[in-house]
Structure 1
C-alpha cells in the first residue's frame, strides 16, 4: 500500500476531527468528544501549540468511497516525568479499510522518531482495557503494559471535580 506520513497542517483540522469522531464511535465514547474543528485550529496551530499531529495519506487512486485521502492520524504532545522528556501519544487511528497495511506502525514509529529528535527518552500512551486488538498491536511494538507490569492506574479529574479542585488552590 502506497501511503505517506506527514506533519499535519491547519488545513487538516476538518479531517482530524472526522477521524476523531470515527475513533470515538469505535470506542463507544462519542458523547465524550467536545472539541470542535475550531478548537483544533486554535490549540494545535497557534504560536504555542498544545498538541502536534501527523497524517497518513494515500494517493487519489486509493481514496475511500467517500473521497478521503487522509486515512489516519496520530496526535501527540510533550510531557515530563522522573525519567525525563516524554512524548505522549493521545490518539492513533487508521480507518478500518486501511488497517493491517503497516500504516499504524508507520504512525507510531514517526511519533517515536519525532519524540527522540526532541530529546525524549520514552513514548507513553493509553489503551482501553477491552480493546484487545489495540493492546496486542502495541505489545507487538515492544511496548510495556504499565498497568499489568507496574500496577499504574491512569487517573483523571474533570468536570465539576476539576473545577472544585482548582477552587481549592490558595494561589
Structure 2
C-alpha cells in the first residue's frame, strides 16, 4: 500500500517543487516569494517514503500551492493556485485528495482553510482537464462560469504596464 505524508514545504523542497511546476519565473523569485520576510504563498508537498519513490527516484511526488485572498461578499478566501501529483501517483489511495483533505493528523489545505477562517476555496481548471473537473465536482465544487457567468481574466506584460502608466498620478 502506498503511504505518504503531506507537510508544509521547506527550503530543501524548492528544487523538487520547481521540477514539478516547471516554473518559468526562476528559483530566486520562488524562494523570495515563498520564504521571504512576507511570504506571498504557501505550499504543501506530498512525500513518499524512500522505498516508494518514483521511477526517477523522487520522494516529493506532489504539491499544492495556495495563497489567501479576500472577497467583499464572503470575507477570507484561499486560492489554490496549483495542485499537482506525478502521474504515477495519481488516483492511488489518496492521491490528489490527500493534499486537499488528508487525514486528521496531517497538515493539509483544509486545515489551512479552517485555521484562517476562510469561507471558500477558489481555483481554476482548464476546460480540457476533464479528470480534474470530475474530481472537484465530485467533492462539491461549482463551475462558476457555467453557474453564475463569472469569467477569469488577467493582464500581463505590456498591457499591464500600459494600464499602470495610465493610472499614475490619478
TM value normalised by structure 2: 0.91
**Alignment correspondent of 1:87:** 78
Task: Identify unmatched segments of 5+ residues in structure 1.
Answer: 22-32
Q: Cα offset for 1:83? A: 0.6
Task: Identify unmatched segments of 5+ residues in structure 2.
Answer: 102-107
Instruction: Find the partner of 1:55 among 30, 42, 45.
Output: 45
Q: CA RMSD in A?
A: 1.0
Q: Cα offset for 1:103? A: 2.2
Q: Cα offset for 1:154? A: 0.5
Distance 2:120 2:52 in 1: 34
Q: Cα offset for 1:108? A: 1.7
TM value normalised by structure 1: 0.90
Segments ≥4 residues shifted beyond 4 Å: none
**Alignment correspondent of 1:17:** 18
**Alignment correspondent of 1:127:** 125
Larger % of helix: which? 1
Q: Cα offset for 1:56? A: 0.1
Q: Secondary structure at the match of 2:44?
A: strand
Q: Cα offset for 1:36? A: 1.1
